[in-house]
Amino acid sequence: MKNREGLTLVELIITIAIVGIIAALVFMVFDTALRNIKNSRERIEAVFRVQGEINEIIQNNNTGEDIIEVTIPIVDINKKVKGRKVDIEEGKIKISTFIPNN
């Protein structure tokens, strides 16, 4: 038997191919993760903008909508509260909230 030192060219090419495949898979995972992070950031910013609009409406108390009455069940008592329902949309984000009268 010969005493071999080192790798043959075939072994080296196979090793490089395996490392390349693993690197490509890792790159795809990170690319997908970065895309998801970007999409999440855009959605969060849209929600913050809509929340700001809702806060402005609440502070100005000028919704232009009719007063509605909501029944809130509390233990065995139904509490009726009058207020306004506010709907705000921005792109795919839609937020509805209820502003009770003072």
Is 77 within the bounds of a domain?
A: yes
Overall average pLDDT of the 2-9 stretch:
77
Is 38 within the bounds of a domain?
A: yes
Question: How many domains does the chain fold into?
Answer: 1
pLDDT at 64 over 60: no
Question: Which residues on adjacent β-strands are paired with residue 89?
Answer: 94
Is 4 within the bounds of a domain?
A: no
Count of helix runs (H) and strand runs (E) in the chain: 1, 3
Is 3 within the bounds of a domain?
A: no
Render pLDDT for 18-48 as a digit per residue (tens, 0 to 9).
Answer: 999 999 999 999 999 999 998 888 888 877 8
Is 44 within the bounds of a domain?
A: yes
Domain span at 90: 9-100
State the Cα–Cα distance between residues 34 and 16, nearest whole angstrom. Answer: 27
Is 2 within the bounds of a domain?
A: no
Highest mean pLDDT among 5-14, 17-26, 66-75, 93-102 belongs to: 17-26
Q: Provide the pLDDT for residue 67.
A: 63
Is 1 within the bounds of a domain?
A: no
